[in-house]
């Protein structure tokens, strides 16, 4: 059994209380999979606040009662020294590398994971990997070959600029291994009667064919539905049975309801369209049972892996998807369903300029990019027609898809890949040399310096260990307590030493002048970093005075 650690923020590991976003689903399922299949003896969390620590404790107790779990803030990096690797649920790794540098760069590894890479914030985060103190024992997991290629291209372009600008001959980032997202495949086994119950509620006949779309229904951040409607219309016209389309999910924006529902009425009138809000159980887990095949014709650069087709395969559905990003890895063409060819063309330089300048928001940027992508509508129609008209083919592909999902994408198969990666990073960490180790006397984090050093030119004088202090007239324990008790005198008490330590300093000065080093030296080890600050606080309130 092993220790594990992760950066915990509820937004990254739960779908409760927020939109059903892919990264939230992936994070929620990752934590569940890690606790179930990771052979974990202890789980530690890096948290931003006590509230997040409490949420982490509740979450782990719900998933793995009795597991040793603890949450620690950023002021306690040493609590992760034995954890091996801290898992970060995103691509933003730079700030955590700088945080680690204040402590010890080879104390533990950092492992991030890609979700969407299209946002300006994510692209900046990826670029920052080359200038932040990431080490050879760190990794950014890419969930597909396509996203790995995109990240490499981004890093290569940024490295070329850094080399041109600063003369750097080698710019090294973290490792970029490929590990797919996972699902709990058993959760997609359908209960007895679910198919009949859902199809009856939707008015779908026993011999009729239902095509399912599952996910966020959004033109901006998911896909353009028009080409799918054209392909379904062509297939439905030639079908011997009625064809239904189930749009299961939520409309991201009010206009999406019009685009998806009225667009379907205009472009595929031969298909009966249903909308099901599948953001919560039981619909989220059961709606798959109503369908005969699944489709998701992505044409959007927002997508990087595509979890929904894997969920569909786990549910035993054949899939029709575009030959796009992660689908190219997950769906075997002609085996688990069909991948429809796509083509991209033209220049997007104007889109990049408008997005960078703030002229276009993220949604408009994505829609603009999707204008340069086309799915082969005729090939999609042929794929739909093949599956709509052949129940035996649907059953065979669905069975192959279910077996593939269980063997490859169940967390029982995915979590061991992470554990092997963590072990490999530990070996590199034990044997490797630091890149750009901190230098004595220099700021470990140059652009987030110690403020009392960075602004040392502001005051009349600066404190040194040899600076001498004397007791102010009348100062003692009673005056200390009175001034500490006045409103506003102690605004950040946790940053100051304890009252006994301050009292001990006053007692020492009652014997005569002393240096800052002599006054701070006897402080308890736990207060060593706060003792000098306490001395300055007493100087601020005229309990002690600097000796000229």
Give the count of beta carbons closer than 10 Å to the beta carbon of residue 441.
Answer: 5
The bridge status of strand 468-471 relative to strand 293-296 is unpaired
Backbone φ and ψ of 266, nearest 5°:
-80, -35
Decide: 145 and 329 in contact? Cβ < 8 Å. Answer: yes
pLDDT for 20 beyond 70: no
Tell me which of 147-151, 165-169, 535-539 is least confident: 165-169
- The pair of structure tokens assigned to 303 is 């997508």
CA distance 406 to 416: 14
Rounded-to-integer distance, Cα 79 and Cα 43, Å: 12
Contact 47, 77 (CB under 8 A): no
Element (H, E) at 491: none
pLDDT at 543: 97
Q: Structural domains in the chain?
A: 2-181+416-431 (3.40.50), 185-409 (3.40.50.2000), 456-546 (no CATH)
Residue range 57-98, pLDDT digits in tens: 999 999 999 999 999 999 999 999 989 999 999 999 999 999
Report d(CA 270, CA 242) in Å as an integer.
Answer: 8
Q: What is the DSSP letter of 331?
A: -
Q: Are strands 514-515 and 468-471 parallel, antiparallel or unpaired?
A: antiparallel
Q: What is the DSSP string of 29-84?
A: HHHHHHHHHS-EEEEEEE-SSHHHHHHHHHHHHHHSTT-EEEEE-TT-GGGGTTS-
Residues 77/80/82/87 CA torsion (nearest 10 deg):
-140
Instruction: For residues 311 and 410, give the distance between their C-alpha atoms in angstroms, rounded to a whole number.
Output: 10
Q: Is residue 344 pLDDT above 70, yes or no? A: yes
As to burial, measured by CB atoms within 10 angstroms (0-12 exposed, 13-18 middle, 19+ buried), residue 167 is exposed
Asked if pLDDT for residue 18 goes beyond 60, the answer is: no
Selection from 298, 308, 262 nearest residue 20 by Cα: 308
Query: H or E element: which one contains 197?
Result: helix 194-202
**pTM for this entry:** 0.91
For 121-159, the pLDDT digits (tens) are 999 999 999 999 999 999 999 999 999 999 999 999 999
Rounded Cα gap, residues 21 and 324, in angstroms: 19
Q: Write the Ramachandran bin of 519: left for phi over 0, alpha for psi from -120 to 50, otherwise beta.
A: alpha
Residue, of 109 and 284, whose pLDDT is higher: 109
CA distance linking residue 425 with residue 137, whole number of Å = 5
> What stretch of H or E contains 536?
helix 531-540
Query: Are 180 and 307 spatial neighbours (Cβ–Cβ below 8 Å)?
Result: no
Tell me the mean pLDDT in the region 341-365.
Answer: 96
* Share of residues in the chain with pLDDT > 90 (%): 89
Tell me: the pLDDT tens digits for 246-297? 999 999 999 999 999 999 999 999 999 999 998 888 888 999 999 999 999 9
Residues contacting residue 27 through CB under 8 Å, at least 6 positions apart: 12, 13, 14, 89
End-to-end CA distance of the chain: give it in Å, rounded: 61
Helix H or strand E segment including 386: helix 377-388
């Amino acid at each position: 059994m092993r220790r594990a650690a992760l950066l915990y923020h509820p937004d990254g590991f739960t779908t409760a209380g927020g939109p059903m976003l892919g990264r939230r689903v992936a994070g929620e399922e990752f934590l569940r999979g890690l606790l179930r299949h990771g052979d974990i003896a202890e789980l530690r969390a890096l948290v931003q606040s006590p509230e997040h620590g409490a949420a982490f404790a509740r979450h782990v107790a719900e998933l793995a009662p009795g597991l040793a779990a603890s949450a620690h803030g950023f002021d306690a990096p040493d609590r992760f020294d034995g954890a091996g690797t801290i898992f970060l649920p995103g691509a933003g790794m730079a700030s955590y590398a700088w945080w680690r540098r204040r402590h010890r760069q080879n104390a533990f590894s950092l492992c991030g994971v890609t979700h969407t890479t299209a946002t300006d914030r994510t692209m900046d985060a990826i670029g920052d990997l080359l200038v932040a103190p990431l080490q050879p024992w760190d990794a950014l997991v890419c969930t597909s070959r396509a996203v790995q290629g995109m990240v490499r291209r981004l890093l290569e372009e940024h490295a070329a600029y850094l080399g041109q600008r600063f003369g750097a001959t080698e710019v090294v980032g973290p490792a970029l291994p490929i590990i797919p997202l996972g699902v709990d495949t058993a959760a997609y086994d359908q209960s007895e009667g679910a198919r009949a119950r859902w199809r009856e509620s939707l008015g779908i006949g026993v011999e009729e064919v239902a095509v399912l779309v599952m996910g966020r229904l959004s033109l901006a951040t998911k896909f353009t539905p028009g080409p799918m409607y054209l392909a379904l219309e062509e297939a439905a016209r030639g079908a011997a049975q009625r064809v239904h389309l189930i749009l299961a999910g939520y409309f991201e924006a009010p206009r999406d309801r019009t685009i998806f529902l009225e667009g379907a009425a205009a472009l595929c009138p031969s298909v009966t369209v249903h909308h099901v809000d599948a953001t919560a159980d039981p619909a989220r887990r059961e709606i798959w049972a109503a369908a005969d095949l699944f489709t998701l014709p992505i044409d959007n650069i927002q997508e990087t892996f595509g979890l929904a087709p894997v969920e569909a395969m786990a549910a035993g559905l054949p899939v029709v998807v575009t030959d796009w990003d992660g689908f190219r890895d997950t769906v075997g063409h002609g085996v688990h369903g069909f991948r429809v060819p796509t083509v991209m063309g033209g220049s997007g330089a104007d889109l990049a300029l408008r997005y960078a300048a703030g002229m276009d928001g993220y949604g408009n940027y994505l829609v603009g990019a999707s204008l340069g992508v086309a799915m082969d509508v005729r090939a999609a129609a042929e794929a739909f027609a093949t599956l709509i008209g052949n129940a035996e083919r649907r059953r065979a592909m669905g069975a192959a898809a279910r077996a593939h999902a269980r063997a490859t994408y169940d967390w029982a198969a995915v979590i061991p890949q992470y554990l092997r990666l963590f072990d490999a990073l530990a070996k590199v960490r034990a044997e490797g040399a630091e890149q750009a180790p901190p230098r004595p006397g220099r700021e470990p984090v140059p652009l987030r310096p110690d403020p009392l050093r960075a602004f040392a030119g502001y005051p009349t004088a600066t404190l040194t260990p040899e600076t001498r202090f004397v007791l102010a007239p009348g100062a003692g324990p009673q005056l200390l307590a009175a001034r500490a008790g006045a409103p506003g005198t102690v605004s950040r008490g946790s940053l100051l030493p304890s009252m006994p330590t301050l009292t001990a300093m006053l007692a020492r000065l009652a014997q005569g002048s002393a240096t800052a080093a002599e006054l701070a030296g006897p402080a308890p080890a736990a207060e060593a970093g706060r003792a000098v600050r306490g001395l300055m606080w007493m100087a601020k309130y005229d309990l002690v005075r600097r000796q000229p």
